[in-house]
Amino acid sequence: MTDQPEVPRDDAETVHEAELDQRMADILSGDRRSISHARRELREQGSGESDDLIGRLDALDYVDSLVGQPGSELPERLGEYRITDLLGRGGMGTVFEAFQESLERPVALKVLSPAMTSDQKMRRRFRIEARASATLHHQHIVPVYGFGETAGYLYFTMERVDGVSLDKHISRNITTGTSPDPRETARQFAGVADALAHAHRRGILHRDVKPGNILVHPDKSLALADFGLSKMLNEVSMSMSAAGGFLGTLHYAAPEQAKGKDASFASDLYSLGVTMFETLTNELPVEGRTTEAMLDAVLHAEPAKLRTKLPKAPKDLEAVIHKLLQKEPEDRYSDGEALARDLLRVADDEPVRIRRLPAFVRAWRTIRKHPALSTAIGIALILVIIVLWLSVEAANASQEQMLTRHRGLLDEAAKKVAERAGDARGAPGLLASLTGLTIGEIDDGNDVKAVLLEASSLRPEDFEWNRIWIAFKEDPESKATKQLRAGRGRAARDTLQVRIDELEDNAGFATGDAITLMKLYRLYLSRAIAYLTPAVADPVMAGKDLLRASLIRRGAFFPQVLTTILEWRVMDGPDALFTKLDRLLADAPDGGRKAVGALLIAYAHIDPPAGANMMSFPLEFGLRRRIHERGVEMWGGDEEFRLARDGAPGLGLEGRLRQHGREVRRVLGVADEIDRWLNDGRGIVEREVARTSPLRSWRLTYELFASPAEVEFTDAPDARDYQIRGLIEYLRLGPQPGALSELAPRIRLWLSTMTAQSIEAAQLRALFAAVTTSSDAFDLAGQWVRSDPEDPEAYLCRMRCQLARDVDEAVFDATMALQKAVDKPAVRSRVIEILREAEARNDEFTEYRRMFDSGN
Amino acid sequence: MALTPEAAFERYRERLLSVIYLRMGPALRTRMDPEDVLQEVAIQAIHSWHTLSDEKNVGAWLVTLARRKVARILRDQVGVAARDPRRERKMKTDLPVQDHRTGPVTAADRQDRLTLLSAALERLSPSHREVIILSRIENWPAKDIAKRLGRTENAVHLLLGRALKRLAEELKSEP
């Protein structure tokens, strides 16, 4: 791999990787045909390294399938089929119009994307499904003619239907603003329902009923296509793009499919219900703009009523569709045949079977048919009911009162718990682990406890009260919280992942159980924080988790605040950030202001408060100071902040690495200790730092300490970021100039090849010159100060260069650094450290050092 | 039959939208709909159609127009000083990419895959991202990419191979 700092590695491994890279390059230098040929060969090889290359080709295919290569890949023929035109392209392949020469008929030929079919098991499954669907013969099913494999391409052929897909039909209706005739549509869909019944009787599920898989003939009749096949291929496409990317297919999935359970006959009927709804109204019965929102809607939202969107639709049709869209499979139609019959009744304006008339109407009808008998039965029945009701009522009156009260108490407790634990400031512990500052008191929850005790005294055998209490008191994943507080973001993320998976699979998630959701709310928040740690440094994923948390508790304060802080740069600058935070604070509960202050303080710092876990963001220093000042203002006092900061145990991972680096530098000359320290440091990086985190640069820092002369710099562009950061860290820690004598020429060479525009390059140049006491060091440091006059590091660098030249100028720079510092104590100790070293050579500095020491 | 700008545009619509979407990056996409940018490119294409020297190059020509358009927007938007907070726009969490060639589902699916690809590309290093976009999305020949990046053609293929490896990892690791 070349995207990480170059480290000594097993030579054989490096050579092997280089060979693989070259082989890939050879494949890529060919045209499409040779790439497809290479893929086939690799598949036949079936070794670890061919898997690596196939993985790369799959990624290539993913990109190409998305962008499309119009015209360029139209093959002339495939087996006995002569390709005549391109009909369309989808995620799983391309559909061509072709001519089957042996039977002299036009066909639609679907060529599957090679990425979908690179796996042997997959190909076998495809054959089974294709064979099964070829056995279906029905007027409303597009017949599959055959399937085959030529030149590595897997394809199947179907009847070439002279029409468009229902999908396009709907698009057209949206554009023209028309909606179809409801009764006519019911008749069309009766055919599809009958087709499903036909397939279901043979044990074949469609699994992916949606407008894209239904074709509209010129005579307006409909036909289902792609039985079993499209879903199977979708699954593969998903496993390749991993989860998350299934918004398009989620629209039509039944709730049980959305939960990942096996599809059933009833699932096909649900999807048909959604398709009908959309065809009639041009809208979906449940909507969600994001995958998460859509999933939430499919599982929990009540589907829209047909007549609210299309008032002219018959009531019976609304009832039919409503029944199809039931969340529980057993509440839908028992089979497609019954559905088809009801749809035909709707079309012919006859009453359908399922719409249950109100009880009194049914009773009235019966009485009208059999007046004498019914009257007798009716009177007897009413008498029996009255007697029963009175006796039960008497016996249960007190029991029921008690039960109602008990339930009322539980509801009250659950509501309180949700307000406290899932709310406003989020769990104070979480916030503390993010900012390193202890915020306010944790609610002791005595009032919740009092309510629950009362509930338990009423019904001690019902342990619901106990569950609520545990959910309130318990940290849903205390191990992760400990890991977070220790700055171990990556480990915390993994721990939380397991727990979240468990809870998401739990039935409670699907049914929207309040306690499960509350736990998940806290877990999503915790995982968002884990993503924000410097060890993981993935704000995109953090944003997703914050969104999930907001979905569970709409309007919750903490996720909103964090999202705002993460995204302010795409708004209109820091003013917009402050305005938005003020707006959020207007409705915030007590202590909210302080919490926001703490977040801003942590956000603004380069050297974060002890124990803080905020990702280090590249912000310019002027901005940092502004955000810091606003944070301190909200937090309420610098003194309090310092107390919190000095009192907190441990350091965030970034701080720990820096601290560790200083220790390494301290023991550089001690042979017995240096190895242990270096291994320890490398261990921390390997264990705690995610592959993509900028903290990977510390690996290079340690390598440089171990043997600066042996470190090889690679000019691979993606390794540069880490290398530059690593070098900067190394130079900031101030290695002995002697250690640089061999390294220096190579760094110079490397610097000369860098495009010099970035601030990092300027920093590196200046620091390097300062450490090597090069003659141009002072000028370079001056350039850095001019290019970024708000950066205290620039002044510190120039101060180093001034030490041997001019004591007053050096002290002036020290003062400037302190003035520009966001975190003054940290910079003060850096200044003192530098002055202490200078004291050894020039005792003029002693007085100044004491001055800074005493805080003047 | 002479190629009309409308027909050419219809043919390269998906590619142009992908170029615009990916070149815009997540920050700009929250402020501006790629569809709107596409419309502007279409208008520009019609206006400057006479400058197209050879119809065979129409794809590359359109892609260049789209790329320049986005670059111009980025240049104008980035670094704009803090504005009046009252003008702050509501954040869009998702953006509609309507693909007129296909129906709403295919469009939603494509949007979803494009979002996924974009997120994965964002996580790659700049050089990896650039080589994938140039070679696969904007369809530059390896020779031209080599010239632009100051590398040999083989080095470009090596870089692309490694970039694809990372992309495959990113697509798989999307939790």
The CATH number assigned to the domain holding A154 equals 3.30.200.20
d(CA A586, CA A192): 55
In the listed set B31, B57, B77, which residue is the last one of a domain according to the structure? Answer: B77
Inter-chain touch A248–B112, beta carbons under 8 Å: yes
B171 or B1, greater pLDDT: B171
**DSSP conformation class of B54:** -
Q: Are residues A200 and A127 in the same domain?
A: no
Q: Is residue B87 part of a domain?
A: no
Instruction: Give A205-220 as a DSSP string.
Output: --S--SGGGEEE-TTS
CATH number, domain at B141?
1.10.10.10
For A430-451, letters b (16+ CB in 10 Å) and e give bbbbbbbbbbeeebebeebeeb
Round to whole Å and give the CA distance between A767 and A764.
Answer: 5
Domain with residue A284: its CATH number is 1.10.510.10
pLDDT of residue A245: 37
- A347, A364, A383: which is the final residue of a domain? A347
A606 vs A71 pLDDT, higher one: A606
User: B28-77 pLDDT, tens per residue?
Assistant: 777 788 888 888 888 888 888 888 888 778 888 888 889 888 888 877 76
Q: Is the Cα dihedral A472, A476, A479, A484 positive or negative?
A: negative
Flag whether B55 is in a domain: yes
Domain stops at, among A321, A347, A373:
A347
User: Which tens digits make up the pLDDT trace of A233-277?
Assistant: 555 444 433 333 343 467 788 888 777 777 788 989 999 999 999
Same-domain pairing of A483 and A603: yes
Helices (H), A301-335: 306-309, 315-324
A51 Cβ neighbours under 8 A, 6+ residues apart: none
Whether residues A211 and B30 touch (CB distance < 8 A) is answered with no
A680-703 in b/e form (b: 16+ CB < 10 A) is: ebbebbeebbbebbbbbbbbbbbb
Q: State the residue for tokens 């240049």.
A: B75
Percent of chain A with pLDDT over 70: 79
Any idea what the CATH number is for the domain that residue B15 is in? 1.10.1740
Residue B44 belongs to a domain: yes
pLDDT band at B175 (very low <50, low <70, confident <90, very high): very low
**Residue at B14 is within a domain:** yes
Mean pLDDT along residues A756-784: 77
* Cα dist from A635 to A598, A602, A650, whole Å: 6, 11, 22
Confidence of residue A761 (pLDDT cuts 50, 70, 90): confident
* Contact indicator for A564, A577 with CB cutoff of 8 Å: yes
Nearest to A718 among B18, B100, B128 (CB): B128
Q: Is residue A142 part of a domain?
A: yes
Q: Which residue has the higher pLDDT, A422 or A583?
A: A583
pLDDT of A682 above 80: yes
Whether A605 is in a domain gets the answer yes
Does B23 share its domain with B65? yes
A6 confidence band (pLDDT: 50, 70, 90): very low
What is the rounded CA–CA span in Å between residue A630 and residue A578?
A: 8
Boundaries of domain holding B175? 108-175
Residues A107/A54, Cβ–Cβ less than 8 Å: no
Q: Residue A399 domain-assigned?
A: no
- pLDDT band per the 50, 70, 90 thresholds, residue A788: confident
Task: Using a CB–CB cutoff of 8 Å, tell me whether B52 touches chain A.
Answer: no
Instruction: Report yes or no: A298 and A549 within 8 Å, Cβ to Cβ.
Output: no
Please indicate, yes or no, whether residues A436 and A531 belong to a single structural domain of this protein: yes
Q: Does B175 touch chain A (CB under 8 A)?
A: yes
B173 part of a folded domain: yes
With vertex at residue A569, the alpha carbon angle to CA A568 and CA A571, rounded to the nearest 5 degrees, is 65
* CA–CA dist A309, A687 (Å, integer): 56
Q: Is the pLDDT of residue A366 over 50?
A: no
Task: Specify the pTM.
Answer: 0.46
Residues forming a β-bridge with A97:
A85, A108
Domain span at A304: 164-347
Q: Are residues A632 and A764 in the same domain?
A: no
Interface test with B, best of A235, A572, A617 (most B CBs within 10 A): A572
Residue B86 in domain: no
Interface test with chain A among B109, B124, B128, B160, by most A beta carbons within 10 Å: B109
The better pLDDT of the pair A822, A118 is held by A822
Domain boundary (A324, A347, A370) is at A347
**Closest chain B CA to residue A63:** B136
B66 neighbors B12 (Cβ within 8 angstroms): no
Do residues A39 and A133 share a domain? Answer: yes
Q: What does the mean pLDDT of chain A come to?
A: 78
CB contact under 8 A, A25 and B158: yes
Is residue B101 in a domain?
Answer: no
Using DSSP's 3-state secondary structure scheme, residue A153 falls into strand
Both B61 and B116 in a single domain? no
B71 and B117: one domain? no
* Distance of alpha carbon A813 from alpha carbon A848, whole angstroms: 12
pLDDT of residue A162: 80
Q: Are residues A126 and A171 in the same domain?
A: no
In a shared domain, residues A216 and A99:
no
Do A130 and A250 sit in the same domain of this protein? Answer: no
Instruction: Let me know if residue A636 belongs to a domain.
Output: yes
CB contact (8 A) between residue B102 and residue A167: yes
pLDDT, position B106: 57
pLDDT of residue A624: 86
pLDDT in tens, A171-185: 778 777 777 899 999
- Residue A84 sits in the same domain as residue A59: yes
Same structural domain for residues A208 and A142? no
**pLDDT tens, position by position, A299-317:** 888 899 999 888 889 988 9
Q: Same structural domain for residues A268 and A156?
A: no
User: Tens digit of pLDDT for each residue in A467-516?
Assistant: 777 777 777 778 888 888 777 889 999 999 998 888 887 777 766 677 78
| Closest of A712, A701, A707, A713 to residue A675, by C-alpha | A707
How confident is the model over A812-837, as a mean pLDDT? 85
Point out the domain boundary residue: B31, B58, B77: B77
Q: Which residue has the higher pLDDT, A3 or A758?
A: A758
Q: Specify the number of domains making up chain B.
A: 2
A318-335 pLDDT, tens digit per residue, is 999 998 998 888 888 888
SS3 track for A217-253: CCCCCEEECCCCHHHHHHHHHHHHHCCCCCHHHHCCC
| pLDDT band per the 50, 70, 90 thresholds, residue A644 | low
Q: What is the CATH number of the domain that holds A790?
A: 1.25.40.10
| Same domain assignment for residues A448 and A576 | yes
Domains identified in chain A, total number: 4
Task: Judge whether B83 lies within some domain.
Answer: no
Does the complex come out with an ipTM higher than 0.85? no
